[in-house]
């Protein structure tokens, strides 16, 4: 292995330089796929419109897979991929940082101590992001493996943590890149090139231990050992139906009478008190007479009371349960509705295919289910921004 792993560089300028194979192919692939998935997750989570939520979740799942691989490769990978090879003592870390400040840092073949601290921190933050992301996805969106076990309240409560970790990650990634550049300049060896080719030039005088080889078969076995119980847990979780998402029976009277003038809104979109007040004043229904025979009004009223927001644990139901103090009957006046649609040009609502703010299903393709998944948004004619 030594012959392949080390080759004399073609003429070092001063000291003799050895090319060392520091990063094996799996760890390089891990690194760059992680860069890609984290970038995708950050862009789709912070910048892209809501309907990229599916891509965001996919990037998150990829990060989870990469983290599992990294742990296994940290045990069975090549010398410099192994966690044990860069688990430095705090004293070594401080020594390295002091050396950096004096621009005379001790040289290392693999991760240097400051870099190693960053690696552990990055892995911890990514684990935290994956965990909070899955809880948010399950609780708020009723999607993913935790949809059946996490409620809206928990999913919503980790939202600020997920966001904080995301911004922390951006800061750490910037520090990581800055560290790489500083180290590259100070040691006159491009760490970026090393992460691409796997080879890193080091001073021949630097004592290099005999590198341990990767054990891919052991790593594959370990991955299988992890994958089997993980699959069993996922299968068990998938047996739970999403929490707080009851099956809404169709009510032909509701669909016909209310649907004659407008989309028959999902009953979860207003709380019981609002539906009761609305049904009590049908003769002045948002400026129009929508009077109904008593029997039909009673039937529709009972249906709405049974399936009002209080009966659901979806994001839409929990959010729209907080109505506007001035206009408690208007879904489109709830603070959440206004906030979520504030960026949309009024002209978008006037488009032929939409026609009115209350035409939820024109853009939310799953409006009739009450789910209002971010991925199901499709604004006819584009979002106009």
Among positions 90, 207, 252, 287, the unique one binding another protein when judged by CB under 8 A:
287
Which tokens belong to 18?
């050895």
Contact 254, 264 (CB under 8 A): yes
| CA–CA dist 22, 108 (Å, integer) | 11
Residue 261 near another protein by CB under 8 A: yes
Residue 362 near another protein by CB under 8 A: yes
| CA–CA dist 318, 153 (Å, integer) | 9
Among positions 288, 338, 380, 381, the unique one binding another protein when judged by CB under 8 A:
288
We find the least distance from the C-beta atom of residue 254 to another protein, in angstroms, to be: 15
Residue 380 near another protein by CB under 8 A: no
Residue 291 near another protein by CB under 8 A: yes
Residue 260 near another protein by CB under 8 A: yes
Residue 236 near another protein by CB under 8 A: no
Residue 259 near another protein by CB under 8 A: yes
We find the least distance from the C-beta atom of residue 362 to another protein, in angstroms, to be: 7
Residue with tokens 């939202």: 159
Residue 345 near another protein by CB under 8 A: no
Among 368, 263, 244, 269, CA closest to 319: 269
Between the two ends of the chain, the Cα-to-Cα distance in Å is 57
Residue 356 near another protein by CB under 8 A: yes
Residue 219 near another protein by CB under 8 A: no
Give the DSSP H/E element, type plus range, for residue 180.
Answer: helix 159-187
Among positions 49, 241, 355, 384, the unique one binding another protein when judged by CB under 8 A:
355
Which tokens belong to 208?
């290099």
User: Phi/psi zone of residue 289: left (φ > 0), alpha (ψ -120 to 50 degrees), beta?
Assistant: beta
We find the least distance from the C-beta atom of residue 310 to another protein, in angstroms, to be: 25
Among 375, 385, 310, CA closest to 341: 385
We find the least distance from the C-beta atom of residue 261 to another protein, in angstroms, to be: 5
Which tokens belong to 369?
């289910």
We find the least distance from the C-beta atom of residue 293 to another protein, in angstroms, to be: 8
We find the least distance from the C-beta atom of residue 359 to another protein, in angstroms, to be: 4
CB atoms within 10 A of CB 38: 22
Residues that bind another protein (CB under 8 A): 259-263, 283, 286-291, 354-356, 358-359, 362
């Amino acid at each position: 292995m030594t012959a392949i792993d080390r080759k004399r560089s073609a003429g070092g300028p001063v000291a003799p330089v050895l090319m060392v194979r520091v990063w094996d192919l799996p760890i390089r692939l891990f690194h760059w796929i992680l860069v890609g998935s984290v970038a995708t997750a950050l862009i789709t989570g912070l910048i892209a419109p809501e309907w990229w939520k599916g891509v965001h979740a996919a990037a998150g799942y990829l990060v989870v897979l990469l983290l599992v691989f990294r742990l296994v490769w940290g045990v069975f990978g090549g010398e410099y991929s192994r966690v044990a090879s860069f688990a430095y003592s705090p004293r070594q870390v401080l020594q390295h940082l002091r050396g950096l400040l004096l621009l005379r840092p001790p040289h290392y073949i693999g991760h240097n101590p400051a870099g190693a601290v960053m690696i552990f921190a990055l892995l911890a933050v990514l684990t935290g992001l994956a965990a909070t992301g899955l809880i948010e996805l399950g609780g708020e969106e009723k999607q993913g493996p935790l949809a059946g076990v996490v409620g809206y309240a928990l999913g919503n409560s980790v939202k600020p943590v997920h966001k904080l970790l995301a911004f922390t990650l951006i800061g750490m990634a910037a520090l990581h890149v800055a560290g790489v550049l500083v180290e590259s300049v100070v040691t006159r060896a491009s760490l970026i090139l090393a992460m691409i080719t796997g080879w890193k030039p080091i001073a021949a005088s630097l004592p290099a231990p005999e590198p341990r080889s990767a054990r891919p078969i052991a790593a594959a076995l370990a991955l299988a050992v992890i994958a089997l119980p993980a699959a069993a847990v996922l299968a068990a979780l998938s047996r739970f139906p999403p929490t707080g998402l009851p099956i809404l029976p169709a009510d032909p009277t509701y669909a016909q009478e209310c649907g004659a003038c407008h989309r028959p809104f999902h009953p979860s979109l207003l709380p019981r008190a609002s539906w009761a007040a609305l049904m009590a004043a049908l003769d002045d229904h948002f400026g129009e007479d929508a009077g109904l025979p008593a029997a039909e009004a009673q039937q529709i009223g009972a249906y709405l009371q049974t399936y009002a927001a209080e009966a659901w644990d979806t994001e839409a139901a929990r959010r729209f349960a907080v109505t506007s103090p001035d206009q408690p009957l208007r879904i489109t006046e709830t603070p959440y509705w206004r906030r979520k649609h504030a960026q949309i040009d009024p002209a978008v609502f006037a488009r032929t295919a939409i026609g009115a703010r209350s035409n939820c299903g024109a853009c939310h393709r799953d409006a009739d289910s009450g789910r209002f998944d971010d991925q199901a948004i499709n604004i006819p004619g584009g979002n106009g921004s």
